[in-house]
Amino acid sequence: MNIGMPESDYPDIRGLHLFAEMSDEHFQTLMRGSYVQNFPPQIELITEGDPSDFLHVVLSGSVELFSSWNNRETSMATVRPISTFILAATIKEAPYLMSARTLEKSRIALIPSQDVRKVFDTDSGFARAIVTELAQCYRTVVKSQKDLKLRTSLERLANYILRCQRHAGGGDTFDLGYEKRRLASILGMTPENLSRAFKGLHPYGVQVKGRNVSIRSQKDLEQFAKPDRLIDDYSS
């Protein structure tokens, strides 16, 4: 493990909202104590319950956040570049609530939590950015909670597909972002049930071949899914 981050990674991290507004001096302080590492797929980076020693930044690849209880496991979220995870645990100096594993070969920056807290106390630009980021995280989980409590699995899938489409640019054919077994867990269902749910959307013009989805009738699908900006909008 190499201490100190390669300067070539600085711009990527500096470009994050979270680090954009802070002073150069404080940014250097953070970077000096940080690591960057490449991980193969399926490596467990952190385990829920452990103390939060590092704020993590996904530079490339992707990371799954998941949780377990009583021998069951569920996928909570996916982190894609360039963004951070477990910010709340870092700030609160509390144990992680979720575990994290790489989904693919990933490059991850590790910033010591105590440095983050120290700079946070002295750099108001950084503090503001953290607030914004946390508020965003909070609202994302609330939306996800509404999705879970107010919709059936078929409705969740339909809306997931529409979000996916929007994210991909709005065309009528695009890639499902996940392996199906993982998507099932994210949507809170079993792989078998997901398989059937895709069939259940066939009457609304949804065709699936492997990871590829095509939407035959935008109108029918939307009429069924009833997307809602207070659940399905990523931006606000």
Partner DNA sequence: CGCTATGTTGATCCATATCAATAAGTGTGG
Partner DNA sequence: CCACACTTATTGATATGGATCAACATAGCG
**Quick one: 81 or 191, whose CB is closer to DNA?**
191
Q: Which is nearer to DNA, 113 or 185 (CB)?
A: 185
Q: Which tokens is 163 given? A: 């979000």
Q: Does 181 bind DNA (CB under 7 A)?
A: yes
d(CA 210, CA 213): 8
How far CA 178 is from CA of 31, 36, 88, 192, in Å, comes to 32, 26, 26, 16
| Cβ–Cβ under 8 Å, residues 108 and 39 | yes
Instruction: Rank residues 43 and 208 by Cβ distance to DNA and give the closer one.
Output: 208
**Binding region for DNA (CB under 7 A) out of 7-15, 54-62, 78-86, 186-194:** 186-194
Q: According to CB under 8 A, which one of 1, 3, 72, 169 is a site residue for a copy of itself?
A: 72
Element (H, E) at 197: helix 191-200
Strand partners, 155: none
Fill in the per-residue mask, 166 to 205: x = in contact with a copy of itself (CB under 8 A), - = not in contact: ----------------------x-----------------
Choice from 76, 168, 176, 208 touching a copy of itself (CB under 8 A): 76
**Angstrom distances, CA of residue 93 to CA of 77, 109, 117, 131:** 21, 19, 9, 16
d(CA 94, CA 69): 19
Q: Kind and range of the H or E element at 204?
A: none
Place of tokens 């990371």: 63
Of the two residues 25 and 73, which places its CB atom closer to DNA in the complex? 73
Among 210, 229, 235, 236, binds DNA (CB under 7 A): 210
- Give phi and psi for 212, each to the nearest 5: -95, 130
Answer for which of 15, 41, 80, 94 binds a copy of itself (CB under 8 A) is 94
Number of Cα atoms under 13 Å in the Cβ half of residue 191: 5
Residue 124 is a binding residue for a copy of itself (CB under 8 A): yes
- Residue 139 interacts with DNA (CB under 7 A)? no
Give the footprint of a copy of itself on residues 131-150 (CB under 8 A): 131-132, 134-139, 141-146, 148-150
Instruction: Find tokens 């077994």 and name the residue.
Output: 181
* Residues at the interface with a copy of itself (CB under 8 A): 48-49, 67-70, 72-74, 76, 87-89, 91-92, 94-95, 97-98, 120-121, 124, 127-128, 130-132, 134-139, 141-146, 148-151, 188, 226, 228-231, 236
